[in-house]
Chains A and B, each alone.
Chain A
Amino acid sequence: MSERQIQLEVLRYNPETDSEPRFQTYSVPCEAEWVVLDALNYVKDHLDTTLSYRWSCHMAVCGSCGMMINGEPTLSCKAFLRDYPDTIRVEPLVHFPIERDLVTVIDDFMEKLNRVKPYLIPKEARTIAEGEYRQSPAELKRFKQYTLCINCMLCYSACPEYGLIPDFIGPAAIALAHRYNSDSRDGGREQRQQVIATKEGVWECSFVGACSEVCPKHVDPAAALQQVKIASTVDWYKEHLMPWGKS
Chain B
Amino acid sequence: MMEKIQTDVAIVGAGGAGLRAAIALAEADPKLRISLISKVYPMRSHTCAAEGGAAGVIKPDDSMDLHFNDTVGGGDWLCDQDAVEYFIKEAPKELTQLEHWGCPWSREADGSVAVRPFGGMKIKRTWFAADKTGFHLLHTLFQTSLKYPSIQRFDEHYATDLLVDAGRCQGLTAIEMRSGQLRQFQAKAVIITTGGAGRMFPFTTNGAIKTGDGMAMAYRAGVSLKDMEFVQYHPTGLPNTGILLTEGCRGEGGILVNKHNYRYLQDYGMGPETPIGQPVLKTMELGPRDRLSQAFWHEQKKGNTVPTPWGDCVLLDMRHLGEKLIDERLPFVRELATSYLQKDPVHEPIPIRPVVHYMMGGIHTDINAATVLPGLFAAGECACVTINGANRLGSNSLTELLVFGKRAALSAVEYIGSGVTPNDAAITKQAERVQGRIRTLFEKSGGTESISGLRKEMTDSMEEHAGIYRTAEGLQSACAKIGELRLRYADIELHDKTNVYNTDLLQALELGAMLDCAEAVAVGALERKESRGAHQRLDFEARDDQNYLKHTLAHYHPNEPPRIEYLDVVITKSQPSVRDYSGAKK
Contacts and interface: CB of A to CB of B under 8 A. Distances in A.
**A-B complex is real:** yes
A52 B49 CA distance: 23
A50 B504 contact: yes
In this complex, which of A17, A55, A61, A140 has the most chain B Cβ atoms within 10 angstroms of its Cβ? A61
Contacts of B105: 132
A14 B40 CA distance: 20
A132 to B, nearest CB: 4
Interface stretch (A22-30, A144-152, A159-167): A144-152
B504 A119 contact: no
A139 B48 CA distance: 24
B109 A62 contact: no
A100 B450 CA distance: 22
Contact of B48 (A57, A99, A114, A143): A57
Contact of B100 (A61, A110, A122, A151): A122
Contacts, number: 154
Given A59-B336, A80-B339, A150 B107 contact: no
Interface in A1-50: 1, 14-17, 33, 44-46, 48-50
A95 interface: no
A120 interface: yes
Contacts of A131: 96
B106 interface: yes
Given A49-B504, A56-B46, A63-B44, A136 B97 contact: no
Nearest to A137: B107
Contacts of A136: 107, 109-111
A89 interface: no
Interface string A169-188: 00000001000100101100
Contacts of B501: 52, 99-101, 103
A119 B49 contact: no
A119 B43 CA distance: 14
Contacts of B474: none
A99 B107 contact: no
B101 A120 contact: yes
Contacts of A246: none
A146 B109 CA distance: 21
B166 interface: no
B480 interface: no
B101 A61 contact: no
Contact of B208 (A1, A49, A56, A144): A56
A134 B342 CA distance: 39
A62 B136 contact: no
A241 interface: no
A61 B132 contact: yes
Nearest to A82: B342
A212 interface: no
Contacts of B498: 14, 16-17, 50
Interface string B478-509: 00000000000000001110111111100100
Contact of A56 (B108, B207, B504): B207
Contacts of B113: 132
A134 B496 contact: no
A55 B39 CA distance: 12
A147 B104 contact: yes
A237 interface: no
A117 B502 CA distance: 33
Interface stretch (B142-150, B405-413, B554-562): B142-150
B104 A99 contact: no
Given A56-B207, A56-B208, A114-B146, A183 B96 contact: no
B452 interface: yes
A117 B309 CA distance: 48
A242 to B, nearest CB: 32
Nearest to A17: B498
B243 A59 contact: yes
A70 B504 CA distance: 26
Nearest to B243: A59
A193 interface: no
A57 B111 CA distance: 33
- B interface bracket (residues with beta carbon within 8 Å of A): 35 or more
A37 B451 CA distance: 19
A133 to B, nearest CB: 7
A132 B112 contact: yes
B101 A119 contact: yes
B496 A49 contact: yes
Nearest to B451: A49
B126 to A, nearest CB: 15
A140 B100 contact: no
A63 B46 CA distance: 11
B548 interface: no
Given A58-B208, A58-B243, A135-B111, A1 B309 contact: yes
A126 interface: yes
B139 interface: yes
B109 A180 contact: no
A113 to B, nearest CB: 7
A209 interface: no
A189 interface: no
A220 to B, nearest CB: 15
Contacts of A185: 102
Contact of A58 (B241, B451, B499): B241
A140 B104 contact: yes
Contact of B43 (A16, A60, A62, A134): A62
B340 to A, nearest CB: 7
A234 interface: no
A144 B43 CA distance: 18
B319 interface: no
A59 B496 contact: no
A46 B452 contact: yes
Contacts of A46: 452
A78 interface: yes
A157 interface: no
B146 A118 contact: yes
Contacts of A80: 339
Contacts of B144: 119-120
A59 B112 contact: no
A75 B500 CA distance: 23
Nearest to B130: A144
B207 A144 contact: no
Contacts of B243: 58-59
Contact of A59 (B44, B139, B241): B241
Given A57-B46, A58-B207, A58-B241, A52 B146 contact: no
A151 B49 contact: no
B502 A52 contact: yes
A50 B495 contact: yes
B475 interface: no
Contacts of A44: 452, 503
16 contacts: A14-B498, A15-B500, A46-B452, A49-B494, A57-B207, A59-B49, A60-B339, A61-B48, A63-B43, A78-B339, A99-B178, A113-B146, A119-B146, A134-B112, A137-B106, A150-B135
Given A103-B501, A176-B143, 12 more contacts: A45-B452, A49-B494, A49-B495, A58-B243, A59-B336, A61-B132, A62-B48, A105-B178, A106-B41, A113-B146, A119-B102, A119-B146
Interface of B: 40-41, 43-46, 48-49, 93, 96-97, 99-102, 104-113, 132, 135-136, 139, 143-144, 146-147, 155, 178, 207-209, 240-241, 243-244, 309, 332, 335-336, 339-342, 450-452, 494-496, 498-504, 507
Closest 5 A-B residue pairs measured CB to CB?
A134-B111, A120-B102, A56-B207, A45-B452, A100-B501
